[in-house]
Chain A
């Protein structure tokens, strides 16, 4: 074989390796195998970069999809593998003699969604969103190995914090947690950011009002110290303009605006989340701990 011919065919070699492998292969795995193969004489791709592999796989993935062969190449949570087309599922389930698939119940899915989007999340945080006790649901999800304990929070009582597992990603066909739809809006980072913004907004408004008041009734202001308490309270804050609106005017069809005005309300769990030390980065400290 000439060199040019072989270089065109990196894609073919990769495709063959993934098909013959018993488990999904990551780009790093593939590069290592190609490098190590040089020892047995197959030197052609010993020096390819991960970038070149990624490009070749992208082309291959496109091609397998286009050819409608009933299967195609995908990148899953643990690497590249072939999977069958979902439209063929009913026949495959019959051929493989599979029972009715076990699906997660709605209480489980809701709990799982909160853990997934807000991880690491404590039981109290999950319960404050769902409005019901979730201990038995958490236990069931742990048994199914869809979630795991990822550490303990720094809030009093040092409650466990939960996160999702590799099996979670595989069960839902996700590559990584960031691939969850709408993760930007529902993530804790976003909730915290909004809350901080609202708090700043609120504090600014408060101080402006205080200034205005002190100008008006300078002598009547009983004790300025009292007023300091308001903006410092560690409570969820919402945008002031929304508050007055809800109390006085009737907003035209705000339900339709539900998603667009999200950030006014994400502060709901803010009180817990902003408790000292209980932030998104807290989980990192606990990984070695059991």
Chain B
């Protein structure tokens, strides 16, 4: 993972909360590393969590306090794990030998509701193709409160971005660039590419780009397009290659 560098001046601030919350990030990391949710390697997961947080800071996301609170919780669990059981300071709400337990319970509970939500999503997809003779089709108003990434979650996009950034890391040393690109420009570029190609690999989006600034700007443009539902992202299998496509009609 990269270290946070300067925050780029942005017209477009990404509000992380409309995509995912801190528990989503933890579940993602647990799944990605294929670790046991009941036996989370807290040291590794904490490091990775902090890396993602750094990356998001570098992108100048609006990171809600909930993410910071979770970071503090992870740190606390990590430090308590280092102490022998009988030397840990008493905590009122920790009635357990394992400091991870509260978090595990929260994750498991959350996962259940995530699954319930995805079932509701399926019902919703089914219902939108059903029309009743008797009454008007049931349509709810448009939902501005969040963004659904149907197949790829934001953390996978961040992870893919990180790979791209690593590629340019060395070349960037000591260079000073005038700011040639804006997010608005890059939105145009992506839309044009997608119109001609129809489908685009995530990594191809950054093919000719040599600077971190341009990559970051392009990435933010992509997120904005996803938010505006102008672009869909799909993935070949779990943790596979990511593609950009025109949104399904």
A and B: partners?
Answer: yes
Q: Is the CB of A113 within 8 A of B117?
A: yes
Report which of B39, B64, B123 forms a contact with A132, defined as CB distance below 8 A.
Answer: B64
Is B177 part of the contact surface with A, judged by Cβ < 8 Å?
no
Contacts A86-B126, A137-B146 known; A244 to B97 CB distance under 8 Å? Answer: yes
* Interface assignment of B207: CB less than 8 Å from any CB of chain A: no
Asked if B134 CB lies within 8 Å of chain A CBs, one says yes
B140 touches A167 (CB 8 A): yes
Q: Is the CB of B113 within 8 A of A117?
A: yes
Q: Which of A84, A89, A172, A254 contacts B37 (CB 8 A)?
A: A254
> Once the chains are docked, how many angstroms separate the CA of A181 from the CA of B122?
12
The smallest beta-carbon distance between B35 and chain A, in angstroms, is: 9
**Does A104 reach chain B (CB closer than 8 Å)?**
yes
CB of A24 closer than 8 Å to a CB of B: yes
With A89-B128, A132-B21, A243-B96 known as contacts, the answer to whether A101 contacts B38 (CB < 8 A) is: no
The stretch of B6-14, B98-106, B183-191 that contacts the partner chain: B98-106
Whether the pair A106, B39 counts as a contact (CB closer than 8 A) is no
**Does A246 lie within 8 Å of B101, measured CB to CB?**
yes
Q: What is the bound-complex CA distance between A243 and B110, given in angstroms? A: 20
A83 on the B face (CB < 8 A): yes
Which chain B residues in 86-111 approach chain A with CB under 8 Å?
93, 95-98, 100-102, 104-106, 108-111
How many chain B residues touch A (CB < 8 A): the figure is 64
Q: Is the CB of B145 within 8 A of A140?
A: yes
B134 touching A81 by the CB < 8 A rule? Answer: yes
Residue A268 at the B interface, CB < 8 A? yes
Partner of B108 from A21, A76, A131, A265 at Cβ < 8 Å: A265
B22: nearest residue on chain A (CB-CB)?
A131
Cβ of B173 under 8 Å from chain A:
no
Shortest Cβ distance from A173 into B: residue: B127
User: A186 in the interface, Cβ–Cβ < 8 Å?
Assistant: yes
Interface assignment of B238: CB less than 8 Å from any CB of chain A: no
Q: Is the C-beta of B180 less than 8 angstroms from some C-beta in chain A?
A: no
Neighbouring A residues of B130 by C-beta, 8 Å: 83-86, 89, 173
Which A residue's beta carbon lies closest to that of B248?
A100
> Does A129 touch B at the CB level, under 8 Å?
yes
- Find residues 145-188 in chain A having any chain B CB closer than 8 Å to their own CB: 145-146, 167, 170-174, 180-182, 185-186
Per-position binary interface string of chain B over residues 22-38, scored 1 when its CB falls under 8 Å from any chain A CB and 0 otherwise: 11000000000000111
User: Which one of B97, B110, B126, B140 contacts A145 once the chains associate, using CB atoms below 8 Å?
Assistant: B140
A102-B142, A246-B39, A251-B38 known; A129 and B113 CB under 8 Å?
Answer: yes
- Render A5-45 as a binary contact track against B, CB cut-off 8 A, 1 for contact: 00000000000001101111000000000000000000000
> Is A98's CB within 8 Å of the partner chain B?
yes
Supposing A105-B18, A235-B93 touch, asked if A144 and B146 sit within 8 A by C-beta, the answer is: no
A 193-210 binary contact with B (CB < 8 Å = 1; else 0) = 000000000000000000
Query: 5 closest Cβ contacts across the A-B interface?
Result: A89-B129, A107-B146, A105-B146, A140-B145, A132-B21
Chain A to chain B contacts (Cβ below 8 Å), 10 pairs: A23-B135, A24-B135, A102-B142, A103-B121, A104-B121, A107-B18, A185-B112, A247-B96, A254-B39, A268-B102
